[in-house]
């Protein structure tokens, strides 16, 4: 498990124990923890006055803060960081829980996009946080086969077979009705000329060379160009990741401010900042955690991001993770993210063979 490096002054065993108990209590209840409560929960023979002095020391060191005078204490981002780095006891998933996740992910008929969407829903459902999955990024996507089937109202169903056996279906809108014969001829041409070639190469060849010569194209090639323009168009950046479960954040008092929620929902909708953050995790090993301002984005202050990369045959294809309040159950969330990344990698590996 990786995390943003932070220097911590040495704390004695008793102080560490009290900090851990306080953070666990705050994560569970969401209420500032008073000295009497902490003295009782800690299971140590300490007076509330002694505990209060320790809490004051931890506040001076920046690990705790008090929302207002005479209130209990709550952890800061720095306190969470020490808790995760040195004090957290993870709760690994048992075999039954892993098998439930595996069955949800291992659906052979799913395309990579559908699989990413399914996994983001799964992460959100299991953790009750926001699930985010970057779509698999490959250095090359190879065209194996394409078919066009006519539908009503000037629409065409495109069936694309990519790489080894990934199948994508999409519906495109065309300028005029095409017969089944015209579409078959266009597909035959594309398969004969471009099967086995990189999809980027197909796009550049067809949409540059043929578009430049549009005035001199015969009837068949006009059909090919119109089909290719929409079939092989570049996917917008916003489709590079899938987000699910944003409404889960509304249940947390920590994030209940309407302006804060509006800003967060805008980030989830635009996705640019999320992609930038998740791109930083592509070369990380194992789970990585950003707490509050560690993400580098003001809008995520008050949130934590837990990520893990997934890879096939040694090549990292993307990153998945969850986003929620800093008051999240890290002992549970971290193993869920870690196992899900491994299961997604296994599912994609099976599809590539």
Question: CATH number of the domain that 250 lies in?
Answer: 3.30.450.40
Domain end position, chosen among 200, 231, 262: 231
Q: Same domain for 260 and 323? A: yes
Rounded to 5°, angle at Cα 79 from 78 and 81: 65
Q: Per-residue pLDDT averaged across 100-127, rounded?
A: 87
Q: How far apart are CA 219 and CA 232, in angstroms?
A: 20
Reply yes or no on whether the pLDDT at 333 is more than 90: yes
pLDDT digits (tens, 9 = 90+) for 139-156: 567 888 999 999 988 899
Is 127 in the same domain as 175? no
Query: Which of 175, 196, 231 is the C-terminal boundary of a domain?
Result: 231
188 and 249 share a domain?
A: no
Nearest partner of 178 among 211, 156, 210, judged by Cα:
156
Q: What is the mean pLDDT of residues 253-260?
A: 80
Write out the DSSP string of 40-52: HHHTSS--HHHHH
Asked if 108 and 186 sit in the same domain, the reply is no
Token pair for 23: 């953070």
User: Do 327 and 254 contact (CB within 8 A), yes or no?
Assistant: yes
Domain count, the chain: 3
Q: Tell me, what's the pLDDT at 236?
A: 43
Query: What pTM, to 2 d.p., does this model score?
Result: 0.71
* Residue that has been written with the tokens 């056996």 in this structure: 165
251 and 130 housed in the same domain? yes
Are both 217 and 301 inside the same structural domain?
Answer: no
For the chain, give the mean pLDDT: 86
| 215 — pLDDT class (breaks 50, 70, 90) | low
Please check whether residues 134 and 160 belong to one and the same domain: no
Of the residues 87, 106, 122, which one is the last residue of a structural domain?
87
Cα 238 to Cα 140: distance, rounded to the nearest angstrom = 20
pLDDT(8) > 80: no
> 134 and 241: one domain?
yes
Range of the domain at 173: 143-231
Instruction: Check whether residue 284 and residue 337 sit in a common domain.
Output: yes
Answer yes or no: do 117 and 250 share one domain: yes
Strand 2-3 to 315-325 pairing: unpaired
Sorted by sequence, the CB contacts under 8 Å of residue 169 that are 6+ apart come out as 111, 157, 158, 159, 160
Whether pLDDT at 188 is above 80 = yes
pLDDT in tens, 127-139: 999 999 998 765 5
pLDDT at 330 over 90: yes
Q: Please report, for the domain that includes residue 174, its CATH number.
A: 3.30.390
Tell me the per-residue pLDDT of 35-47, one tens digit each, with 9 for 90 and over.
Answer: 999 999 999 999 9
For 277-294, the pLDDT digits (tens) are 888 888 788 899 999 989
Task: Indicate if the pLDDT at residue 5 is higher than 70.
Answer: no
Kindly state whether residues 252 and 105 are assigned to the same domain: yes
DSSP E strand boundaries for 29-154:
64-65, 74-75, 130-134, 143-150
pLDDT category at 209 given cuts 50, 70, 90 is low
CATH number at residue 50: 1.10.10.10
Residues 134 and 147 in one domain: no
């Amino acid at each position: 498990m990786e995390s943003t490096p932070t220097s911590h002054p040495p704390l004695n065993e008793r102080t560490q124990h009290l900090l851990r108990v306080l953070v666990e209590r705050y994560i569970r209840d969401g209420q500032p923890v008073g000295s009497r409560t902490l003295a009782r929960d800690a299971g140590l023979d300490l007076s509330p006055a002694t505990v209060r002095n320790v809490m004051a020391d931890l506040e001076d060191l920046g690990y705790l803060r008090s929302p207002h005078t005479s209130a209990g204490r709550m952890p800061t981002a720095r306190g969470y960081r020490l808790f995760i780095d040195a004090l957290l006891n993870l709760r690994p998933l048992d075999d039954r829980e892993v098998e439930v996740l595996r069955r949800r992910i291992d659906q052979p008929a799913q395309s990579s996009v559908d699989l990413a969407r399914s996994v983001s829903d799964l992460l959100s459902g299991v953790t009750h946080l926001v699930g985010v999955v970057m779509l698999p990024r490959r250095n090359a996507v190879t065209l194996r086969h394409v078919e066009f089937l006519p539908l009503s109202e000037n629409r065409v169903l495109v069936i694309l077979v990519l790489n080894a056996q990934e199948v994508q279906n999409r519906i495109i809108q065309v300028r005029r009705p095409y017969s089944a014969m015209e579409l078959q001829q266009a597909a035959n041409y594309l398969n004969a000329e471009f099967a086995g070639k990189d999809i980027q190469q197909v796009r550049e060849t067809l949409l540059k060379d043929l578009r430049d010569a549009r005035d001199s194209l015969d009837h068949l090639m006009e059909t090919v160009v119109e089909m290719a323009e929409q079939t092989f168009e570049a996917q917008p950046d916003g489709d590079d990741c899938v987000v699910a479960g944003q409404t889960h954040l509304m249940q947390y008092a920590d994030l209940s401010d309407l302006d804060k929620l509006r800003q967060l929902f805008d980030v989830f909708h635009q996705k640019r900042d999320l992609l930038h953050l998740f791109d930083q995790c592509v070369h990380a090993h194992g789970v990585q955690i950003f707490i509050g301002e560690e993400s580098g984005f003001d809008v995520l202050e008050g949130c934590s991001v837990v990520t893990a990369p997934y890879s096939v045959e040694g090549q990292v294809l993307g990153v998945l993770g969850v986003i929620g309040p800093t008051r999240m159950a890290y002992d549970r969330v971290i193993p869920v993210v870690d196992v899900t990344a491994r299961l997604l990698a296994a599912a994609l590996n099976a599809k590539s063979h």
